[in-house]
Amino acid sequence: MVYLRNWQKLTPILVLLLYTAACMPEATGLAPTPGMGDSASQTVAESAIPTRTPSPPAILTPAATLSPTPSPTPLGGSGQILFASNRGGPYADLYLLDIASSRVTRLTQGDSNTFPGPFSPNGEQIVFTGFGLTRSFVGVMAADGSNQVNLTNQADADDGFPSWSPDGTLIAFTSRRDGNNEIYEMNADGSDPIRLTNNPKDDFAPAWSPDGRQIAFISDRENVTGIYSIYLMNADGSEVRRLTNDQGSNYSPSWSPDGMQIAFRSDQNGLSDIYIIGINGSGLKNLTNDPADDWAPAWSPDGLQISFQTNRDGDWEIYVMNADGASPQNLTNNPADDQMPYWGK
């Protein structure tokens, strides 16, 4: 599997934690729970059951080093993109690309994989998914890679897919602490986690809407197990409704800054492309339409561009394209695997 090339000590959770269908034809998702049944008509009424179990943050050892500056890219302008890469060794670490100068700064360095989440709304922190010996956790660090803290700190559960609320006070994430993948939210310091979904199928990869009123997420609750669609729910977990109903399996929802569209990855007929859809279910469009694998879309803060990862050059690279799919350009140009972009503030 290309996505896992040269990454070692991978726990079973990683296969779906960051890219749920990496082995199927993430990142990204926590591993699905087997034995849930395959009836596409199986549904369970939602009941947002609060589960409050505060977990004291655990301080991690920070690391911040610089990688060599790559050759300049043809893309001008300003801005930063956070991404994961194994360019510095056998594990995935976090790197920050300054688009204008093409300077790449290494933010983490450790003996296990680290995968990025988005910047905090004020741009001062980054949430991430980290890995211990056997479990994954949600952590937070300063934007320069320092002051790394384990927020979930669960000894016997896998946590991942963190997403900030627009006001910066809450973090939504995926956890298996109740036996299967469910969406939780917690305070930004890791306290007071509350379960938002309650379904025997897998719910994961939450993404807050720009106005903070809705959360998009991925689930196979109305499909054959392992075939995922995008769902929307109110921020409190109520009024779950299905958004996508295409022939593929969908992942990685990313809201446009105006809150009117969602970009996502869809696997159809053996191909993975980046699509957009209106939040009312209209306007479905394939933006990449490329025989390569295109994953992990992320809107630029001004809504004019979408970054994504693709293996069209033989390995995973970070690309950017116009919001209509035009003018794709390679930003990283590195023989290592560069993946999972998030725009800086």
Q: What is the mean pLDDT of residues 289-299?
A: 97
Give the integer Cα–Cα distance in Å for 150 and 218. Answer: 24
**Residue 53 pLDDT level (bands cut at 50, 70, 90):** very low
Place of tokens 């290309």: 2
How confident is the prediction for the chain on average, in pLDDT?
83
Torsion of CA 248, 18, 136, 173, to 10 degrees: -70
**Residue 17 pLDDT level (bands cut at 50, 70, 90):** very low
Question: Over the stretch 107-129, which tens digit does the pLDDT of each residue have?
Answer: 999 899 999 999 999 999 999 99
**Residue 26 pLDDT level (bands cut at 50, 70, 90):** very low
Q: What is the mean pLDDT of residues 34-54?
A: 35
Give the integer Cα–Cα distance in Å for 158 and 276. Answer: 30
Residue 32: what pLDDT?
A: 36
Residue 162: what pLDDT?
A: 98
Residue 209 domain-assigned (yes or no): yes
**Residue 82 pLDDT level (bands cut at 50, 70, 90):** very high
Q: What is the mean pLDDT of residues 329-338?
A: 97
Other C-beta atoms within 10 Å of 69: how many? Answer: 12
Task: Say if residue 14's pLDDT is above 50.
Answer: no
Place of tokens 């561009």: 305
Residue 43 domain-assigned (yes or no): no
Residue 240: what pLDDT?
A: 98
Q: Could you give the strand order of the β-sheet that contains 285-286, starting from the edge strand earlier in sequence? A: 249-255, 261-268, 271-278, 285-286
Task: Say if residue 303's pLDDT is above 90.
Answer: yes
Residue 42 domain-assigned (yes or no): no
Task: Say if residue 231's pLDDT is above 90.
Answer: yes
Residue 320: what pLDDT?
A: 97
* Exposure b/e, 25-40, CB count within 10 A at least 16 = b: ebbbbbbbeeebeeee
Residue 220 domain-assigned (yes or no): yes
Residue 36: what pLDDT?
A: 29
**Residue 11 pLDDT level (bands cut at 50, 70, 90):** very low
Residue 218 domain-assigned (yes or no): yes
Residue 110: what pLDDT?
A: 86
Task: Say if residue 72's pLDDT is above 60.
Answer: no
| CATH number, residue 211 | 2.120.10.30
Give the integer Cα–Cα distance in Å for 173 and 181. Answer: 10
Residue 246: what pLDDT?
A: 87
**Domain that residue 93 falls in:** 2-34+53-343
Residue 45 domain-assigned (yes or no): no
| Three-class SS state of 295 | strand
Place of tokens 């893309």: 75
**Residue 88 pLDDT level (bands cut at 50, 70, 90):** very high
Task: Give the CA distances from residue 252 to residues 144, 150, 239, 245, in Å, rounded to whole numbers and listed in that order.
Answer: 25, 23, 21, 15
**Residues constituting the chain:** 345
Residue 44 domain-assigned (yes or no): no
How many structural domains is the chain composed of?
1
% of the chain with per-residue pLDDT over 70:
77
Question: Over the stretch 140-165, which tens digit does the pLDDT of each residue have?
Answer: 999 999 999 999 998 888 999 999 99
Place of tokens 């992942």: 251
Question: Over the stretch 209-227, which tens digit does the pLDDT of each residue have?
Answer: 999 999 999 999 999 999 9
The pTM of the whole model exceeds 0.85 = no
Give the integer Cα–Cα distance in Å for 262 and 266. Answer: 12
Residue 321 domain-assigned (yes or no): yes
Residue 269: what pLDDT?
A: 86
Residue 68: what pLDDT?
A: 43
Residue 18: what pLDDT?
A: 39
Task: Say if residue 71's pLDDT is above 90.
Answer: no
